[in-house]
Amino acid sequence: MRTVYVNGEYMPETQATVSIFDRGFLMADGVYEVTSVLDGKLIDFDGHAARLERSMIELDMPALPITMAELLEVHRELVRRNDLSDGMIYLQVTRGAPGDRDFVFPDPEETAPTMVLFTQSKPGLADSATGRNGIKVISIDDLRWGRRDIKTVQLLYPSMGKMMALAAGADDAWMVEDGHVTEGTSNNAYIVKDGRIITRQLSTDILHGITRAAVLRFAREAQMEVEERAFTIDEAKQADEAFITSASAFVTPVIDLDGTPIGTGQPGPVAPRLREIYLEEVRKAAI
């Protein structure tokens, strides 16, 4: 049984509870982060902590009751208590439980945020079949709200997108708005054409992936050309390669889009190389 963290306390998962009045439950008024763990160490904790703070500020949530140094300790303690080698730490903060349902935000003096963290064990996370062989994606309309740069727990549409992909015999969906790909259901989307890595520019249209930032930095350091701009589904179908990035998928090749094989229909060479560089660098910097 897992040990989880709820509002300052560690407890068995079966004893962990949150109020029915919690605004995360009633209104999806909450934000989250997922930090990967490899060999018992946290990958890019600082990036996830910084984005958490930004998400909370953008939603006018009161500051966390603990410092980022203490939050790091909570992550580490959960790794220790759960003997976690490879997997993820899920963190969620909501605007708390005011004791009733109301559209008006509660007074932060009276209602403290709810914070929960738990571990997810994924042995061999960095050596997955999808990481090696790639995934198939379908395209769907992007029907999400307009502040996708805030990492909220409003994940119903991405979850439906994933189900549409599975129903179509694919692994995931790329979302399309105004004719251009925004991102995957839970990852950032890329194509490679003539050696150039193309991915949508940052804006409120997409989540500012922590893995995206690292991968683009490593790509530039390796003298690869990076173009941050929106691309279409047709362009993606004619690309040499495609891939996604996220904290738990790292860099994963995309080999098929709406039934059209991308490039040779096999991973490589750019995505597997980036995956290798990314894993090597983040393992070195893991804490």
Sites of contact with ligand PMP (CB under 6 A):
34, 183, 186-188, 207, 209-212, 245-247
Q: Which helix (H) or strand (E) holds 67?
A: none
The nearest distance, CB 36 to ligand PMP, in angstroms, is 8
- Residue 66 is classified by DSSP as S
Place of tokens 């009633």: 26
The nearest distance, CB 1 to ligand PMP, in angstroms, is 26
Which of 97/138 has CB closer to ligand PMP? 138
The nearest distance, CB 74 to ligand PMP, in angstroms, is 19
Kindly state the tokens that stand for 284. Answer: 């070195």
Which of 75/106 has CB closer to ligand PMP? 75
The nearest distance, CB 235 to ligand PMP, in angstroms, is 20
Q: Is 41 marked active-site? A: no
Which of 101/283 has CB closer to ligand PMP? 283
- What whole-number distance in Å separates Cα of residue 46 and Cα of residue 49? 5
CA of residue 152 relative to chain centroid, distance: 11
Cis-peptide, bond into residue 269, ω within 30° of zero: yes
Which of 139/186 has CB closer to ligand PMP? 186
Q: Exposure string (b/e) for 125-140, b if CB count within 10 Å is 16 or more?
A: bbeeeebeebbbbbbb
Bridge partners, 91 (sequence order): 33, 117
- What whole-number distance in Å separates Cα of residue 163 and Cα of residue 186? 13
The nearest distance, CB 244 to ligand PMP, in angstroms, is 8
Q: Catalytic one among 122, 151, 237, 284?
A: 151
- What whole-number distance in Å separates Cα of residue 181 and Cα of residue 237? 12
Is the distance from CB of 182 to CB of 205 less than 8 angstroms?
yes
Catalytic residues: 151
